[in-house]
């Protein structure tokens, strides 16, 4: 009889009473358990200051689970793996107690000394926690030790480097798993497959056949109750430095020679290194910032960003960024990658549009004299799938063509079974697969690119607000493409 080998580990979640743990981590671990991807050889220790008991913690974990539960026995058997250990992470001596609890659970759950430390806390604690883990010997084990950290990874290159240096005093690069949850999304992971497993795309994936690539990630929501955090971040740091540039790297990279972590990351790093650096002047030519004013979303009035009680009434923080990125290598010379992301926009979606060049001699048009461009649209969220925009014959005896669309909808088929990004990333980390986590080199290159933009913007006050809530951003974002003869799709 075949036996399944499950990943085994004691997982310590720092920030166990927080929003991320409740909304993402517990439901994801439960889905892994429910889908039989992890067995019984795991335990979770929750750390935070609130004086909860094991019972209360298990109750909270139970409340956070969204999957329909069949029986109480099943859910109790899952939550019985959870233990709560309250302490302030700045209190060094508590790490000693944490170690004995880990050792006990290691024996009880036969986790072979494997340890995952998940820092679901504000980044100012990362260095302290990592150093205490090191100092109190929590890494001294026969199994593996991995550290998972969340964004924001620094505020600029300098602070990111300082943070990285602190982490590296305690952990090797190979032990550090930096989460960019976009890399856990099904269709972001599918970019490589669409490109490298389909001859009809990869052969055309270059400046001879592609005119431009557009990445849009728009949100309906404003900053909600995160105004204070957002004031020191803005869309550039919150979205562009990480998620948007990661998608650019996946679209622009060369095919790796193997699908190993090192090979994939090395190609992504090369793509990021090929991005043309900006100057202050080219920042103003190639990047547009925006901030939402009041408007209407789904027929309801909404306030502008500056009206938020946690936000400066003269705030210069951008809630929208559009930009043109040029990649100076043989494959992409001359092809703009346009990115656009913002809050309080017309719809919530993330998609990539690859626009192909027209044929050298296309004799057909759609009746209005216009050519119909071929597009490959990769829908990341909420829809997951691809649409190919082609041309076909109109059945009226004329030479007029009509646009047709070939659709593949991933979440229509998989339905609710499409794994959550966090679920996949936690599973990957337990299995030691760091491919879909960001390497320090990627973080560093992304910050260096973004820092020029933030410095240029800080040198000049913007005329905000400059877009209405419920729109697709400021007019200048449209003009950015119009100047090049394109439009947003
Ligand atoms: P949060 O709701 O504010 O939770 C922070 C957690 O840290 C709480 O459990 C808090 O518990 C604990 N904590 C704070 N100070 C502590 C201390 N001195 N010692 C021990 N525990 C302490 O924050 P969050 O939204 O979960 O975010 C956590 C991290 O993930 C942040 O870096 C955030 O930027 C990042 N992130 C969050 C999301 C999200 O969806 N929420 C998404 C992406 C990234 P006590 O008050 O009980 O101590």
Ligand 1 atom having least distance to the Cα of 181: 43
User: Cα angle at 386 between 297 and 219, to 5 degrees?
Assistant: 20
Q: Which residue has the tokens 């986590």?
A: 437
Region of 124 on the Ramachandran plot (φ > 0 left; ψ -120 to 50 alpha; else beta): alpha
Q: What is the pLDDT of residue 85?
A: 97
Q: What is the pLDDT of residue 420?
A: 86
Map residue 350 onto helix, strand or coil.
strand
* Ligand 1 binding pocket includes 86 (Cβ within 6 Å): no
Q: Binding site for substrate, residues?
A: 181, 185, 219, 238, 343, 348
Active site residue ranges = 243
Question: Would strands 300-302 and 292-297 be described as parallel, antiparallel, or unpaired?
Answer: antiparallel
HSE, side-chain direction, 13 A CA sphere, residue 189? 18
Region of 137 on the Ramachandran plot (φ > 0 left; ψ -120 to 50 alpha; else beta): left
Separation between Cα atoms, residue 428 and residue 431, nearest integer Å: 5
Cross-strand bridge partners of residue 338: 214, 324
Task: Count CB atoms within 10 A of the CB of residue 396.
Answer: 9
Note whether 429 and 116 are within 8 A (CB). Answer: yes
Note whether 27 and 102 are within 8 A (CB). Answer: no
Q: Rounded to the nearest 5°, which phi and psi values hold at 336?
A: -75, 140
Q: Binding site, residues?
A: 15-22, 49, 88-89, 151, 181, 185, 219, 238, 343, 348
User: Cα angle at 246 between 206 and 152, to 5 degrees?
Assistant: 165
Q: What is the pLDDT of residue 398?
A: 78
* Ligand 1 binding pocket includes 122 (Cβ within 6 Å): yes
* Ligand 1 binding pocket includes 49 (Cβ within 6 Å): yes
Residue 450 CA to ligand 1 center (angstroms) comes to 25
Kindly provide the residue ranges of all beta strands, DSSP E only, lying in 150-243, ordered along the sequence.
176-178, 210-218
Structure tokens at 486: 């394109």
Q: What is the pLDDT of residue 362?
A: 81
* Ligand 1 binding pocket includes 90 (Cβ within 6 Å): yes
Structure tokens at 233: 């971040």
* Ligand 1 binding pocket includes 15 (Cβ within 6 Å): yes
Q: What is the pLDDT of residue 363?
A: 79
H or E element, residue 392: strand 385-393
Q: What is the pLDDT of residue 413?
A: 65
Task: Count CB atoms within 10 A of the CB of residue 115.
Answer: 21
Q: What is the pLDDT of residue 111?
A: 97
Question: Would strands 336-342 and 210-218 be described as parallel, antiparallel, or unpaired?
Answer: parallel
Q: Whose CA is nearest to atom 7 of ligand 1?
A: 15
Q: Whose CA is nearest to atom 41 of ligand 1?
A: 20
Cis preceding-peptide flag for 382 (omega within 30 of 0): yes
Q: Rounded to the nearest 5°, which phi and psi values hold at 185?
A: -75, 140
Q: Which residues of the chain have pLDDT under 70?
A: 1-2, 66-70, 413-418
The whole-model pTM stands at 0.95
Separation between Cα atoms, residue 482 and residue 7, nearest integer Å: 52
């Amino acid at each position: 009889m075949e036996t399944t080998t499950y990943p085994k580990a004691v997982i310590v979640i720092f920030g166990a009473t927080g929003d991320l743990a409740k909304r993402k981590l517990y439901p994801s671990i439960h889905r892994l358990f429910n889908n039989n991807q992890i067995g019984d050889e795991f335990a979770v220790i929750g750390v935070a200051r609130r004086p909860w008991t094991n019972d209360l913690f298990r109750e909270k974990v139970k409340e956070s689970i969204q999957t329909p539960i069949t029986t109480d026995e099943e859910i109790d058997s899952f939550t019985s793996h959870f233990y709560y250990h309250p302490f302030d992470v700045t209190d060094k001596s508590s790490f000693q107690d944490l170690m004995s609890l880990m050792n006990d659970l290691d024996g009880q759950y036969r986790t072979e000394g494997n340890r995952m430390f998940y820092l679901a806390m504000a980044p100012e604690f990362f260095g302290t926690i990592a150093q205490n883990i090191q100092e109190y010997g929590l890494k001294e084990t026969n199994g593996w030790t991995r550290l998972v950290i969340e964004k924001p990874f620094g505020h600029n290159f300098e602070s990111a480097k300082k943070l990285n240096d602190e982490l590296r005093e305690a952990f090797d690069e190979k032990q550090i798993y930096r989460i960019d949850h976009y890399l856990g999304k099904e269709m972001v992971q599918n970019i490589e497959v669409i490109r490298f497993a389909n001859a009809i795309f990869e052969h055309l994936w270059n400046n001879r056949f592609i005119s431009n690539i557009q990445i849009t990630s728009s949100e309906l929501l404003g900053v909600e109750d995160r105004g204070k955090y957002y004031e020191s971040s803005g869309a550039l740091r919150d979205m562009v430095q990480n998620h948007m540039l990661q998608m650019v790297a996946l679209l622009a990279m060369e095919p790796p020679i193997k699908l190993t972590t090192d090979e994939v990351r090395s190609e992504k790093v090369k793509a990021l290194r090929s991005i043309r650096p900006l100057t202050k002047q080219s920042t103003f030519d190639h990047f547009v910032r925006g901030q939402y004013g009041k408007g209407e979303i789904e027929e309801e009035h909404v306030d502008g960003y500056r009206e938020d009680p946690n936000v400066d009434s003269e705030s210069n923080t951008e809630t929208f960024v559009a930009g043109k990125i040029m990649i100076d290598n043989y494959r992409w010379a001359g092809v703009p990658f346009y990115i656009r992301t913002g809050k309080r926009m017309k719809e919530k979606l993330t998609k990539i549009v690859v626009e192909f060049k027209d044929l050298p001699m296309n004799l057909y048009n759609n009746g209005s004299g216009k050519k119909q461009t071929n597009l490959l649209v990769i829908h990341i969220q909420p829809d997951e799938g691809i649409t190919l925009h082609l041309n076909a014959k109109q059945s009226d005896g004329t030479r007029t063509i009509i646009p047709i669309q070939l659709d593949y909808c991933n979440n229509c088929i998989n339905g609710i079974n499409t794994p959550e990004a966090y679920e996949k990333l936690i599973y990957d980390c337990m299995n030691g697969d760091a491919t879909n986590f960001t390497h320090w080199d990627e973080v560093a290159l992304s910050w260096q690119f973004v820092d020029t933009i933030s410095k240029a913007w800080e040198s000049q006050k913007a005329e905000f607000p400059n877009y209405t809530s419920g729109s697709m951003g400021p007019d200048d974002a449209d003009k950015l493409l119009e100047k090049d003869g394109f439009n947003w799709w």
